[in-house]
């Protein structure tokens, strides 16, 4: 199996998706190996990856950051579900962009995404037991956003 | 949602539990929700792609989770939900989804499953489909748990 750094495809996709959706710059504050258990900031979007390799994209941010981002898209937004859907769409755009670029470069990978699932609460933890994940932490003027991107056996 | 899909997952749970040595299970009524607030502390979620796109979430209490993990670990006492317990519950859900995918392949539906993710805490709001989520209560001697199916079909 080719030794591909799948995370490389996410840097550009995260930056381009964020800038095009929210018309703001973002800065990669930290990159590290992600722990298999994380304490959520309050809102999480999970998108699974299938194909020659399996994986998962997890976007985690606070509810206040989620609301500020969603209001940036629609200033009249005042429904929490619509806020969560907006953040799920951001994660979907990021994941779709990265996966498309991987498939374009390595056609045999045949990667596909599952639809986003969204979780929100004040005190919960998330485990991904079978993944080797990287944490990309971004600083934005709306608050911090974390992407945990992991693949099986990579 | 077509009952064929729901029944495939209920049958898969029954078969996997039987293979793991659990007592027989029974399913309750089906209800449909836009989103669900996890009435239980622990949820295991697996995504689907292919002919069916969606998410499958199994929710249960810590007590039921501990009992399930204990049986999977050949009767070992499980006092807390640690990393090993979470891996076991992820594997159980993997087996359920794999079996359901196998059942659905006989209807010429070809589906791939994602790795499991486990979420636990209190009063967690979950939206696993932006269309609707079908919820089935599953009763077993180890406790009641919920099968949540959110398919975009």
**Average pLDDT estimate for A134-154:** 94
CATH of the domain at A136: 3.40.1550.10
Instruction: Give the number of other Cβ atoms within 10 Å of residue A108's Cβ.
Output: 8
Residue whose structure tokens are 């810590």: B62
The pLDDT assigned to B36 comes to 66
Q: Is residue A57 in a domain?
A: yes
- Tens-place pLDDT, residues B16-56: 988 888 777 888 778 887 766 667 899 999 999 999 999 99
The closest of B3, B1, B5, B2 to B104, measured between CA atoms, is B5
Residue A118 in 3-state DSSP?
Answer: strand
**Average pLDDT estimate for A81-87:** 95
Q: Is residue A90 in a domain?
A: yes
Contacts of A44 in chain B (CB under 8 A): 119
Tell me the residues of chain B between 51 and 80 that have a Cβ less than 8 Å away from chain A. 53-55, 57
**Average pLDDT estimate for B135-142:** 89
Disruptive mutation site among A36, A42, A47, A48 for chain B (greatest number of B CBs within 10 Å): A48
The pLDDT assigned to A4 comes to 75
- Tens-place pLDDT, residues B87-97: 999 999 999 99
State the pLDDT confidence band at A141, using cuts at 50, 70 and 90. Answer: very high
**Number of domain units in chain A:** 1
- Residue B36 · residue B133 · CB < 8 Å: yes
- Tens-place pLDDT, residues A49-76: 999 999 999 999 999 999 999 999 999 9
Residue A140 structural domain: 8-151
State the pLDDT confidence band at A2, using cuts at 50, 70 and 90. Answer: low
Residue A91 in 3-state DSSP?
Answer: helix
Contacts of A48 in chain B (CB under 8 A): 46-47, 49, 113-115, 117
For residue B18 the two structure tokens come to 């039987």
The closest of A100, A97, A119, A96 to A109, measured between CA atoms, is A100
pTM, whole model, 2 decimals? 0.94
The closest of A113, A43, A95, A10 to B47, measured between CA atoms, is A113
CATH of the domain at B64: 3.40.1550.10
**Number of domain units in chain B:** 1
Contacts of B115 (CB under 8 A, 6+ apart): A48, A54, A55, A56, A128, A130, A131, A150, A152, B46, B90, B94
Q: Is residue A22 in a domain?
A: yes
Residue whose structure tokens are 């607030």: B37
- Residue A9 · residue A101 · CB < 8 Å: yes
Residue B134 structural domain: 3-151
- Tens-place pLDDT, residues A110-121: 999 999 999 999
- Tens-place pLDDT, residues A11-47: 999 999 999 999 998 999 999 999 889 999 999 999 9
Contacts of B86 (CB under 8 A, 6+ apart): A37, A127, A129, B118
Tell which wins on pLDDT, A1 or B131.
B131
Q: How many CA atoms lie within 13 A of A31 on its CB side?
A: 8
- Tens-place pLDDT, residues B53-90: 999 999 999 999 999 999 998 888 888 888 999 999 99
Question: Terminal CA-to-CA distance of chain B, rounded, Å?
Answer: 8
Q: Is residue A125 in a domain?
A: yes
The answer to whether the CB atoms of A113 and B49 lie below 8 A apart is yes
Alpha-carbon gap, residue B65 to B81, rounded angstroms: 8
């Amino acid at each position: 199996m080719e030794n591909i750094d799948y995370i490389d495809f996410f840097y550009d996709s995260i930056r381009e998706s964020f800038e095009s959706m929210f018309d703001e710059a973002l800065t990669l504050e930290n990159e590290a190996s992600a722990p298999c258990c994380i304490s959520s900031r309050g809102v999480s979007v999970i998108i699974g990856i299938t194909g020659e390799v399996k994986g998962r994209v997890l976007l985690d941010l606070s509810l206040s950051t989620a609301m500020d981002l969603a209001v940036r898209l629609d200033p009249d937004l005042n429904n929490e579900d619509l806020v969560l859907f907006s953040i799920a769409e951001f994660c979907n755009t990021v994941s779709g962009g990265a996966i498309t670029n991987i498939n374009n470069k390595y056609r045999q990978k045949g990667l596909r995404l599952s639809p986003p699932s969204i979780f929100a609460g004040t005190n919960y933890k998330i485990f991904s037991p079978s993944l080797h994940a990287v944490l990309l932490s971004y600083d934005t003027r709306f608050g911090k956003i974390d992407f945990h991107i992991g693949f099986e056996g990579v | 949602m077509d009952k064929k899909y729901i029944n495939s997952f209920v049958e898969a749970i029954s078969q996997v539990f039987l293979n793991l040595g659990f007592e027989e299970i029974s399913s309750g009524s089906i209800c449909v929700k836009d989103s669900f607030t996890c009435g239980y502390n622990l949820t295991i979620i697996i995504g689907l792609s292919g002919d069916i796109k969606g998410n499958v979430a199994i929710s249960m209490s810590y007590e039921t989770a501990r009992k399930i993990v204990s049986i999977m670990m050949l009767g070992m006492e499980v006092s807390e939900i640690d990393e090993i317990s979470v891996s076991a519950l992820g594997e159980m859900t993997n087996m359920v989804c794999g079996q359901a995918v196998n059942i659905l392949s006989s209807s010429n539906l070809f589906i791939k499953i994602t790795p499991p993710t486990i979420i636990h805490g209190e009063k967690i709001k979950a939206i696993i489909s932006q269309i609707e989520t079908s919820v089935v209560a599953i009763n077993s001697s180890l406790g009641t748990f919920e099968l949540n199916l959110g398919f975009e079909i």
